Amino acid sequence: MILAHAAASFAHVPATLGMFFQEEGGAASSGFSVLGMLKNMGWIDLVVVGVLFIMSIWSLAVMIDRALYFSAARKQSREFAPKVAGALKDGRLDEAIKVADRSKKSHLAEVVTAGLQEFRSYGSGGAITDEQIESSKRALERSEAIVHAKLKRGLGSLATIGSTAPFIGLFGTVIGILHAFQQIATQKTSGIGAVAGGISEALVTTAFGLLVAIPAVMCFNYFTNKVESFDVEMDNSSSELVDYFIKQSQR
């Protein structure tokens, strides 16, 4: 009995909602396509959409650039490490530098080259001094800082886009909703049909802002983790190279 009564009570709800959403004729139902909404947007909302579109293109360009750069750095470093290790083990310093020079995109090669060139600048003859080792160590540290900056290039813009795009979209939504309510006051109409079109157009900017921000934040976190792993590899390579210099000085 209770279920039958509840079913009878709510049987009229779909018809009521249908009448509610059909107020103002077909004015609200027309133009719900993306192109229709863009045509009906105010100039401020169009500016917001344009800014978000530029931000999306910029973030996509950064993502592609960093993905290609990191992939090349990883590939060349894997080829570089065993070759330079073999050359240094045999005491062929010039060969090690040549191997490093051929790996232009390797983060390890750039750091190791700086240390080897500084070490070689003191000359190959005579005993290896503490000053020579310290100078090579400082060259490695400088090169690490430079390579770290290269690896992080563009990531700041991804962070900025990821943090600001939702707020830019929200700004467009607020302006759009204000415009919709101004139309209600001007036309003196009521019902959801009077504002449905304006609110839907306004919410497009928020959706677009989230669509731009979410991939930017995800890629920023991913690339930041990659940079941290590259930093660890560079630190280890620098430490191993300094240990190699110290061992050479003790022979």
The mean pLDDT of 212-239, rounded to a whole number, is 93
Between residues 133 and 216, the one the model is more confident about: 216
Give 161-174 pLDDT, tens digit per residue.
999 999 998 888 88
Q: What is the pLDDT of residue 120?
A: 80
φ and ψ at residue 23, rounded to 5 degrees: -65, 150
Section 212-226 average pLDDT: 95
Give 60-64 contacts, CB < 8 A, sequence gap 24+: 62/154, 62/155, 62/157, 62/158, 62/219, 63/158, 63/215, 63/219
Name the band, by pLDDT with cuts 50, 70 and 90, for residue 6: very low
Q: What is the mean pLDDT of residues 227-238?
A: 92
**Number of C-beta neighbours around residue 218 at 10 A:** 13
Domain spans, the chain = 34-249
pTM of the predicted model, to two decimals? 0.74
Query: Tens digit of pLDDT for each residue in 65-95?
Result: 999 999 999 998 888 888 888 888 777 777 8
Residue 196 pLDDT more than 80?
A: no
